[in-house]
Amino acid sequence: MEKLQLQKREITGKKVRHLRKDELTPAVIYNAKGESFNVVMNSTDADWINRNTTSTSILDTTLEKDSFKTLVKELDINPITDEINHVALFRIDESVPMVFTIPFNIIGISPAVKNNLGVLVNTLDSIEVRCKLADLKPFIEIDISKLENVGQTINVDDITLPKGMSLINDEQAKATIVTITEIQKVEEVVVTPAEGEEGAEGEEVVEGEEATEATTDQTKKE
């Protein structure tokens, strides 16, 4: 899909189900001013968006004679039929910084994992940053090749953000992205009979032997 083409939508509420019968998907566009506009797109485009876009995918969008760029903010999908009920888009103002959710891309091989010393645990998949569209990157690489021992971590403040990006708050800096934890050992459990149980079985055998001997003596006497 080279461009996302939208049309204005007058139909709202429960009546939008008629749009889906015509292979159209209802959508809405939000902007930085808090405004929203009801639109509609081709269902084929909605399916493409669902399969191919991420939180940093920029869509070249047209609405009548207006051209602009949008981000996909939310997809409402029917959990039973997988049909896309609704698409929420955000119109980008290229002149001002915006908040974007940038995913992390793990690269490299951890020596601790390679040598079976520990297990890599990914605790943070993405981070929110503020930047202009021109400075936006599709992901931030996290190199784990220096994680050699159990207990080592990579926090947000250990990485260098791409030029033009900044954290939206200082609390994010201490967040852990990945860490090496110990391998959980599986201990073999051996079930042994209790002392009392073994003794009882021994007593039964002895009593049986004594009973047999007594019967034999009584037979000889008779």
Q: Among the three residues 166, 181, 196, which one is the final residue of a domain in this structure?
A: 181
Q: What does the pLDDT read at residue 195?
A: 62
User: Is 72 found in the same domain as 106?
Assistant: no
Report helix, strand or coil for 49.
Answer: helix
Q: What does the pLDDT read at residue 67?
A: 94
Q: Which domain holds residue 102?
A: 98-181
Alpha-carbon separation of residue 207 from 59, 187, 204, 218 (angstroms): 89, 40, 5, 17
Q: What does the pLDDT read at residue 214?
A: 47
User: Is 49 found in the same domain as 76?
Assistant: yes
Q: Is residue 61 in some structural domain?
A: yes
**CB-facing half-sphere around the CA of 89: CA atoms within 13 A:** 31
Q: How many CB atoms lie within 10 A of CB 42?
A: 17
Q: What does the pLDDT read at residue 205?
A: 46
How many Å separate Cα 188 from the centre of its chain?
33
User: Is 87 found in the same domain as 102?
Assistant: no
Q: Is residue 55 in some structural domain?
A: yes
**Which regions in the chain score pLDDT beneath 70?**
1, 186-222
- Count of domains for the chain: 2
User: Is 144 found in the same domain as 121?
Assistant: yes
Q: What does the pLDDT read at residue 16?
A: 75
Q: What's the pTM?
A: 0.70
Q: What does the pLDDT read at residue 28?
A: 95
Q: What CATH number does residue 168 fall under?
A: 2.170.120.20
User: Is 113 found in the same domain as 78?
Assistant: no
Can you read off the two tokens belonging to residue 215?
A: 């019967």
User: Is 66 found in the same domain as 19?
Assistant: yes
Q: What does the pLDDT read at residue 35?
A: 92
- CA–CA dist 210, 44 (Å, integer): 90
